[in-house]
Structure 1
Amino acid sequence: MKRVSFAEFGGPEVLQLVDAEEPHAGPGQVRIAVRAAGVNPVDWRIREGQILKAHPIELPAGVGIDAAGVVDEVGEGVEGIEVGDRVFGEGPDTYAEFAVLSAFARMPEGLTFEEAAGYPSVVETALRIIGEVGVQPGQTLLVSGASGGVGSAVLQIARERGIEVIGTAGAANQDYLRDLGAEATTYGEGWVERVRQLGRVDAALDLAGSGVIGELVELTGDPRKVVSIADLGAPKLGVRFSGTAGSVPDALAEAVDLISRGKLHIPVEKTYPLAEAAAAHVDSRAGHTRGRRVILV
């Protein structure tokens, strides 16, 4: 089978499309013929060797954690899923023709493979950080870097829970944030004052890692009311860095419920063939995404 792999840490040029042995489903797992794989910032952070303590790997290594496809092997102990089912979920090395998923669920009706591949880790992250930051219904959550996949999920899930949201993003994405139910403003010079004019901030999330932790603490008045998933230096200012996943099966179940009820939709901004994984990483690292980037297999 074909798989995207890298033999050394570095820039996107280290990614190669190689021939690899097919993986097989173990107990509690399923194997899928991958139709689409989600592109996440953690993918290029791992490729660059940024987070080896949290994600130790042996080289050469595959890439990707999110995928959607058709089940073609069912491991021992798996119930409720059969060969031929359309599923989405998480597992290692998903930029490939076949991948083994350790957390998975049936795709909601009406969802395409490319859409489904964009949800698993994004929804898990959104649910986790909303819980960690401790924001309650009736309070206001500020989301810095709100237009990407995690931001899109956070805004919709928070609004569904009765939480008011303010989002920062580039000028081109202001209407997009408003469509998701947020008060919106641009980042850049004067952004703190623009946020203040929109109202009180009870808690804040840093999704972009753009060096705004100090300002988020200033706006909330308490570093314990700020969580970052993108700034590794956040703990130096007393702010929690959230990088360890919670229950992916629970997150998938909630995603299915929200999608099925029309309460969650994350658009796919751009797709790439498997051979252009490096271009997907370049675009993901540049940011300014509206929704998700997805590799089609």
Structure 2
Amino acid sequence: MTSRAVQYARYGGPEVLEIVEREDPQPGPGQVRLAVRAASVNPIDWKLRSGGMASSDAPDRPVIAGVDLAGTVEAVGEGVTAFGVGDEVLGHAKGGAYAEKALADTSALAPRPGGLSWEVAGALPVVTTTAYRGLALLGLGEGDDTAGKVLVVNGASGGVGVVATQVAVARGVTVIGTASERHQDDVEALGATPVVYGEGLADRVRTITDHVDAAFDTAGKGALGDLVALTGSADRVITIADPDAAKYDVKFTGGAGAASEEVEGALADFVGGVASGQYRAPGVTVYPLEQAGKAQEDNRTGAVSGKLVITP
């Protein structure tokens, strides 16, 4: 059997993406094959496609784009007992998610709760695991002493920011969330105190509090200097988006992160909270598979807010 997938055989702009017909991938030990219902668009997708993280002009072999997805299990590999054919799941793909059929390790999946749309389910994996990892690295993880702590989330209305803000608030952390003027009400709805980001950020935060314990930069809009000044130490700041992290001695943790830093059970915890109404998922904009290049470009330029999702 064959199915469609979005791939690139050379690095460049969105024009290098093409839809190809390929043989359905076969799951190996510990893997399942999914009929993909939704795949999320993340900055790591277009950063890899552009070649900005590579040392050559083209990958060794064509690459299927995409990191996270939601879908239905249609085949299982050797030794798989956690999921069976027909199960509805979400998580991280193994070998690309922009496709009609994709593989995933069972360890990277969680069940899709009833009532959670496919589009929202596909939007959550990377932003959720990244948010939980960032909070844990800042000492604001599950089981940490978070009482009385104050956290600044730079970019609180974005995908990772929406998750991190809500989870931190649920853990008793006082959150100050930065966003543009038009998203101030959105940030307040998450339980945070909203502040406009940009030049003068530190001064605006100081009108609210004279003490900040930690800062999580999810936006990468040149705020690291202010965040270090507010916390008093680069060790109390983490960024997932600012390429100048080394300049400020701030830790950079990417979308995938190190396996040793991932928080076990993060995806199931947040997804369960969304399904129960405890948490709110980021807003979702949907694109067909044929518009994968436009979706990546809209994500890169920030032309569309919220999470962008591709549906085969």
Sort the TM-score into its range (normalised by shorter chain). over 0.9
1:105 alignment counterpart: 110
TM-score (normalizing by structure 1): 0.93
Query: In the alignment, is residue 175 of structure 1 matched against residue 185 of structure 2?
Result: yes
Match of 1:278 among 293, 306, 312: 293
Q: Report the CA distance between 1:248 and its aligned residue.
A: 6.9
CA, structure 1 residues 288+277, in 2 after alignment: closer, same or farther (shift >3 Å)? closer
Q: Report the CA distance between 1:255 and its aligned residue.
A: 2.5
User: 1:262-297: CA deviations, max 9, x gaps?
Assistant: 222213331100010111111111237543111111
Match of 1:153 among 149, 160, 163: 163
Aligned mates of 1:48, 1:22 — CA distance in 2 = 26
Q: Report the CA distance between 1:249 and its aligned residue.
A: 5.8
CA, structure 1 residues 21+252, in 2 after alignment: closer, same or farther (shift >3 Å)? same
Aligned mates of 2:275, 2:284 — CA distance in 1 = 21
Within-5 A mapping of 1:17-28: 17-28=19-30
Q: Report the CA distance between 1:203 and its aligned residue.
A: 0.6
Q: What is the total number of aligned residue pairs between the two structures? A: 295
Aligned mates of 2:26, 2:311 — CA distance in 1 = 21
Contact in 2 for aligned 1:145/1:167 (Cα 8 Å)? yes
Aligned mates of 2:117, 2:202 — CA distance in 1 = 39
Match of 2:230 among 210, 219, 240: 219
Aligned mates of 1:37, 1:205 — CA distance in 2 = 26
Query: Over aligned residues, Cα RMSD in angstroms?
Result: 1.8
Aligned mates of 1:283, 1:265 — CA distance in 2 = 23
Query: In the alignment, is residue 267 of structure 1 matched against residue 309 of structure 2?
Result: no
1:45 alignment counterpart: 47
Contact in 2 for aligned 1:168/1:184 (Cα 8 Å)? yes
The amino acid across from 1:105 in the alignment is: A
Aligned mates of 1:95, 1:11 — CA distance in 2 = 17
CA, structure 1 residues 164+248, in 2 after alignment: closer, same or farther (shift >3 Å)? closer
Secondary structure of the 1:142 match is strand
Aligned mates of 1:9, 1:59 — CA distance in 2 = 11
Match of 1:93 among 77, 96, 105: 96
CA, structure 1 residues 262+146, in 2 after alignment: closer, same or farther (shift >3 Å)? same
Report runs of 4+ in structure 1 exceeding 4 Å deviation.
Answer: none
Q: Report the CA distance between 1:14 and its aligned residue.
A: 1.4
CA, structure 1 residues 248+21, in 2 after alignment: closer, same or farther (shift >3 Å)? farther
1:63 alignment counterpart: 65
2:132 alignment counterpart: 127
The amino acid across from 2:100 in the alignment is: E
Contact in 2 for aligned 1:3/1:97 (Cα 8 Å)? yes
Contact in 2 for aligned 1:228/1:240 (Cα 8 Å)? yes
Aligned mates of 1:41, 1:201 — CA distance in 2 = 28
Q: Report the CA distance between 1:257 and its aligned residue.
A: 3.4
Secondary structure of the 1:253 match is helix
Aligned mates of 2:242, 2:168 — CA distance in 1 = 22
Secondary structure of the 1:31 match is strand
- Structure 1 stretches lacking a partner, 5+ long: none
Secondary structure of the 2:153 match is strand
Contact in 2 for aligned 1:223/1:238 (Cα 8 Å)? yes
User: 1:146-180: CA deviations, max 9, x gaps?
Assistant: 11110110011101111111111111111111111
TM-score (normalizing by structure 2): 0.89
